[in-house]
Amino acid sequence: MPGEHRSAENEGVEVVLDMLRSEGNRVTTSRRLLIRCLIEAKSHLTAEEIADDLERRAPDIHLSTIYRNLDELERLGVVSHSHLGHGPATYHLSTKVHGHLVCEDCGVAIEAPDEIFSQLALEIMEKHDFTIDTHHFAVLGRCGPCQSLLASTDPASKETSR
């Protein structure tokens, strides 16, 4: 059961709220709940999922408010969003940033430590003068189970990804 007062979550919420205050932004119920939701979230959440979550505590928080607040928090650097496939974007705290490996078949999202990309980053920097950002878009592909399923079902794989 999520904590009540003075929990680590509440502390984190306050830190972010202070950032908002110091930029002249106002602290509102929806913002408080949104930040708390993101801190407590174990996984990446779409705006819709956040809305569903917040609705349980405050029924009238509108999706557009969530989008606006997410944008605001993203401007502050507190929140990041990623595109894990064709559907909606997902949002999470920047402190939880990492790369993603997303299966094109089953949709599972594997979190990949940043180190795994460092060699690639270096090489791309040298050869293409380009600084990669491995967080914003997922690296798509196929997870082990789906890969073997594919191999057994359709040996002369015709490539149907979408």
Could you tell me which residues come within 8 angstroms of residue 26 by beta carbon, excluding any fewer than 6 positions away?
20
158's tokens: 């015709």
Q: Kindly state the smallest distance separating residue 60's Cβ from a copy of itself, in Å.
A: 27
Contact status, residue 31 vs residue 70, Cβ threshold 8 Å: no
By CB under 7 A, residue 80 contacts DNA: no
Residue in this structure with the two tokens 């708390």, named with its chain if needed: 36
Q: Which of 11, 18, 43, 63 binds DNA (CB under 7 A)?
A: 63
Question: Least CB distance from residue 121 to a copy of itself, whole Å?
Answer: 8
Q: Tell me the closest approach of the beta carbon of residue 80 to a copy of itself, in angstroms.
A: 8
List the one residue from 2, 4, 6, 26 that touches DNA (CB under 7 A).
Answer: 26
**Nearest-angstrom CA–CA distance, 22 and 69:** 16
Shorter beta-carbon distance to DNA: residue 69 or 134: 69
Could you give the angle at the alpha carbon of 70 between the alpha carbons of 57 and 65, nearest 5°? 55
82 forms part of the interface with DNA (CB under 7 A) = no
In whole angstroms, the minimum distance from the beta carbon of 114 to a copy of itself comes to 12
Query: Is residue 39 within 8 Å of residue 9, measured between CB atoms?
Result: yes
Which of 69, 80, 82, 134 touches DNA (CB under 7 A)? Answer: 69
Half-sphere exposure of 99 (CA within 13 A, CB side): 15
Q: What is the DSSP letter of 28?
A: -
Tokens, residue 43: 């996984």
Which residues lie near a copy of itself (CB under 8 A)?
74-75, 77, 80, 83, 94, 101, 103-104, 110, 112, 116-117, 119-120, 123-124, 127-134, 136-144, 147, 158-162
- Regarding 67 and contact with DNA (CB under 7 A), the answer is yes
- Give 80's strand partners: 92
Binding site for DNA (CB under 7 A): 20-21, 24-31, 46-48, 58, 60-65, 67-69, 71-72, 87-89
